[in-house]
Each structure stands twice: as structure tokens, then as C-alpha cells.
Amino acid sequence: MFKPDKEDILEIDAGFENLMHIGLVANNIKVGVIGAGKASLIKTKTFLKAGCEVEVLSPRFDKGFRRLRCECLKLKKEKFHKSFLKDKHIVVIGVSNKKLEKRIIWHCKRLNKLYLVCSDYKLGNLRLGAQERTDEFVFSLSIKRGNPKLSKYLTQKTLNFLQSFTIFCNWATNLREKLKHHPQKDQILEFVCSDDFYYFFKKGYANKVIKLFYEDV
């Protein structure tokens, strides 16, 4: 009988706090926001800033929505109807009516939507981490038990650290593109992405060290 190797047996934490961050190609993502209070406004700004297409559905709108100017934003002054969910990849639920909130969650589950509940993050299957981006990096950070202000503070600390690697990141990424069809691509990149090689990079010897080990690069 086949017996799996120990390395193939994964221990899975089934708890909600076992978060997994994914990278969305934002300009291909449609977001539906239901409710137009302050919490929904914050989430709307986050998705718009990333480049998502956002449609907000509500019978009333916080004045902050009226000040938003973005061609990717659509405001629809109506009550909730389940057809609103049809073409949305992600749903933000920001309503104060608990009965309506439960009904929207039920529809989202039935339609296999990714959904975020503003009143209580534990009710949804999606959380937005604090995010930062530069020309070379995009990253997100979340506190497992929930603490947005701390996430934002630590994200800035992380950004300051990562920025010291900006030049190296640009160089290594250009090298990866150059090695696209090289037979030893994976081996070379493994060699480059290490503390030992980064030491020589900072000293200005990156190209010489590469040539020393891989003459045809």
C-alpha cells in the first residue's frame, strides 16, 4: 500500500486567524460595496487606490462618497438586491441592519463570493491588510487577531526596511528576465537570492561574482 512521505503531510490550522495573503491583479477585479457609511468609504478608497472597479449600492451615501472622483467608481442609489452580486469578485458588506447583513452573507456564501463584513471581520472570508507599494515592491501585512492601527504602523516599519533592498531588487529582477531561457536559471537565481551574494552586491562585485561562477551569463 502507498504510504506518503512525512514531508507530504501538511498540518492545517482550520482557525479563521490562519490568514493567507494573495496578490490580486486589481484592474481585473470588480468590487461591490453594499452600504455607504464611513467603514464602506474607507474600504472603497482602498480598492480604488489599488485600481479595482468599484460599484457602491446604498439608498443613502456618506458625504465622503460625493467627494470621490474616479472613473472606476460607480454609485447606485438603490436598496440591496441579490442581482447586484452577480458580476462581483469581491463584496464589502457595510450595512447596519443585522437582518440584512445576514441575508447578504447567505447570498455571498451561496454564490462563492469573497466577502468582507465591516461590522465584524470574523463574519467574512476576507480581510484587507495594511498595504504599501513602491516601484519594486507591493506587500500587505495583517495582525492575525485584528489590529488595523498596529498593522499600519508595522507596515511603515517594514517599508523602511525593504526600501534598502530596492536597487538589489531591480538588479535581480532584470537578471531573472535575462535568464528566461537559460538552462541553469533556477540554480543561478538561488545563488543570487542569498545573504552571501547580497554582501558582494553591496560591495559592487555582483557582476564579477556571477561571471566567476557562471561564465555564460
Q: Of 15-19, 33-37, 56-60, 99-103, which gets the smallest average pLDDT? A: 15-19
Give Cα 101 to chain centroid, integer Å.
24
Check: CB of residue 126 under 8 Å from CB of residue 90: yes
Confidence of residue 7 (pLDDT cuts 50, 70, 90): low
Residue 209 confidence (pLDDT) above 80? yes
The pLDDT of residue 8 is 58
Measured between alpha carbons, how far is 33 from 132 in angstroms, rounded to an integer?
A: 22
Indicate whether 9 pLDDT > 90. Answer: no
* Residues 112 and 104: beta-carbon distance below 8 Å: no
Q: What is the pLDDT of residue 19?
A: 82
Contact 149, 142 (CB under 8 A): no
**Residue 143: helix, strand or coil by DSSP?**
coil
| Confidence at residue 217, expressed as pLDDT on a 0 to 100 scale | 85
Q: For domain 26-128, is the CATH number 3.40.50.720?
A: yes
201 vs 167: CA distance, rounded Å:
10
Q: What is the predicted pLDDT for the residue at 146?
A: 83
**Residue 189's pLDDT band (cuts 50, 70, 90):** very high
Give me 100's grid cell. Answer: 440584512
Can you state the angle between helices 195-203 and 206-213, rounded to 10 degrees? Answer: 130
The Cβ of residue 91 has, within 10 Å, a number of other Cβ atoms equal to: 24
Q: What is the largest CA-CA distance in the chain?
A: 68
- Average pLDDT for 143-167: 93
Alpha helix stretches (DSSP H) within 51-194: 63-66, 98-110, 148-162, 166-178, 185-192
Q: Is the pLDDT of residue 2 over 50?
A: no
158, 132 Cβ separation under 8 angstroms: yes
Give the confidence band of 21 by pLDDT, cuts at 50, 70, 90.
confident
Domain range annotation of the chain:
26-128
Q: Which of 41-45, 87-91, 153-157, 213-217 has the lowest mean pLDDT?
A: 213-217
- Residue 47 half-sphere exposure toward CB, CA atoms < 13 A: 28
pLDDT at 83: 97
Sheet holding 53-57, edge to edge: 73-76, 53-57, 30-34, 90-93, 114-117
Q: Which residue has the cell 470574523?
A: 122
